[in-house]
């Protein structure tokens, strides 16, 4: 089975390609768009990204597996990410993770990740990639039970 970007994403890629000095610089946006389109990054998508960016498949794979925000398998549950890096840990991320595991792991996959670059909003979580800052257990209950 092959992968192709849909029309909307193809237009975005065309637009982005004009902004970068060479095709290799498109790698991260291409991975994002592939994940957004399919919910994860398949081998077929990485093959297509390899063709577009003119880089070897293994380079695409190494980048996709380095960053925790890229998913290489389709998830059966929706994903809540909890940052475990210093600012978030000092702000209570361990208690947030414990609360999530005890109360929401039946309907959500709880994943620990490294700094998401929003330390000012610590403790940080994401729900399907959307940032939730200064989270509290009560706030998570409201958000997750409403979704």
Residues that bind ligand FES (CB under 6 A): 83, 85-88, 115-116, 118-119, 122, 124
DSSP symbols for 56-119: -HHHHHHHHHHSTT--SS--SSEEEEEE-SHHHHHTTHHHHHHHHHHHTTTTEEEEEES--S-G
**Least spacing, CB of residue 34 vs ligand FES, in Å:** 24
d(CA 4, CA 24): 18
Which one, 118 or 139, has the nearer CB to ligand FES? 118
**Least spacing, CB of residue 111 vs ligand FES, in Å:** 14
Strand 130-132 and strand 108-113: the pairing is unpaired
Which one, 45 or 132, has the nearer CB to ligand FES? 132
**Least spacing, CB of residue 132 vs ligand FES, in Å:** 11
Which one, 56 or 129, has the nearer CB to ligand FES? 129
């Amino acid at each position: 089975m092959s992968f192709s970007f849909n029309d909307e994403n193809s237009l975005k890629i065309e637009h982005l390609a004009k902004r970068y000095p060479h095709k290799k610089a498109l790698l991260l946006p291409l991975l994002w768009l592939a994940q957004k389109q399919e919910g994860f990054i398949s081998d077929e998508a990485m093959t297509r990204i390899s063709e577009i960016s003119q880089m070897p498949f293994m380079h695409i794979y190494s980048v996709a597996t380095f960053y925790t925000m890229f998913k290489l398998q389709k998830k059966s549950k929706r994903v809540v990410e909890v940052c475990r890096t210093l600012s978030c840990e000092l702000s209570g991320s361990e208690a947030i993770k414990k609360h999530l595991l005890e109360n929401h792991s039946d309907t959500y996959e709880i994943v620990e990740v490294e700094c998401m670059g929003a330390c000012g909003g610590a403790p940080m979580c994401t729900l399907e990639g959307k940032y939730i800052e200064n989270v509290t257990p009560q706030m998570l209950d409201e958000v997750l039970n409403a979704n």
